[in-house]
Structure 1
Amino acid sequence: MPEPGDVIENPVTGERIEFRTAPSGRRQSLHFDYYLEPGGFGLGKVAHVHPIQEEGFDLQSGTLGVRVGGDEWEATPGTRFAVPCETPHTVWNAGSDEVHAHVEIKPALSIGTFFETMYGLARDGKTNAWGLPGPLQLAVVADAFREELYLAGLPKRLQRGAVGLLASIGRQEGYRAVYPRYSDRTVRITEEA
């Protein structure tokens, strides 16, 4: 689980997160500073859905391309918006300067650990050009973090069934949803030393 002050980067998508809080669970919110370099995009370049979480953005600098539901617009500094649960959405850098936004996700659940896993896989070169790992690894992650998100555009029931089957195979092949080298604070400090 990330701690306040932890910073993770995704070199594939151009995202960087600086955690401001580290709560997890159903009653707490996760707050972080979100940075997105020019040409960068939200993980996967595709819309995703948070089944029970609301995501709020307060844009500090840059121009953030936003698609929420069927609406698409550009957010500029001072723009605040919220994405209700069960609403497909995605973001990208729509300008030539780095984007900086304050983000709140509530309830936090385990979304911070999800970010650590996905960004860690990208740093290790284990993702495609969209920042997504191969099908078995992705299924294991998607199955473990099913309360946090799923991909938009595919029927949820069909997606859950396919993910469950592939995740079972993926776990047998040794894939995990959480890796200590990405999420265990003591391991990360040791690896950096």
Structure 2
Amino acid sequence: MHAPARAVHEFWNESPDTVLDHEIRPLLRHLDMFTLWSALDGAGATTRSGIPRNPLALALLWNLQDGYLAGIPAWLQRAILGSLAAIARRTGYARRWTDSPALN
């Protein structure tokens, strides 16, 4: 499957043993995003659908993606999630999950 730039897309696991071969070009901050998401998931900090339970963690994931969430105005995402991500970095919450420079 190929998702062109600026196309709305999504993916999910159909079963716990699903293996996803995901290639992003250019990589940008995707590896940091998936590393954080994996750490959150492994710690039980996400819901069954994989959404972080803590709004600061959600904001950090949003900050590492290279786009915007569909259906929510970009300016609103920047205002709310961008502010929460800044709080997560300033309070040290981001360091709890990874030592990535992209988060700290």
TM-score in terms of structure 2 length: 0.72
TM-score in terms of structure 1 length: 0.43
Distance in 2, matches of 1:86 and 1:102, equals 20
Which amino acid letter does the alignment assign opposite residue 27 of structure 2? A
* Identity of matched residues, %: 36
User: Residues 1-193 of structure 1 correspond to what in structure 2 (within 5 A)?
Assistant: 81-92=1-12, 99-100=18-19, 102-133=21-52, 134-143=54-63, 145-146=64-65, 148-176=66-94, 179-180=98-99
Distance in 2, matches of 1:93 and 1:142, equals 19
Unaligned runs of 5+ in 1: 1-80, 184-193
Higher helix share: 2
Which amino acid letter does the alignment assign opposite residue 120 of structure 1? A
Distance in 2, matches of 1:140 and 1:132, equals 12
Q: Which has the larger radius of gyration?
A: 1
Match of 1:151, SS state, is coil
Unaligned runs of 5+ in 2: none
Provide the alpha-carbon RMSD of the alignment: 2.6
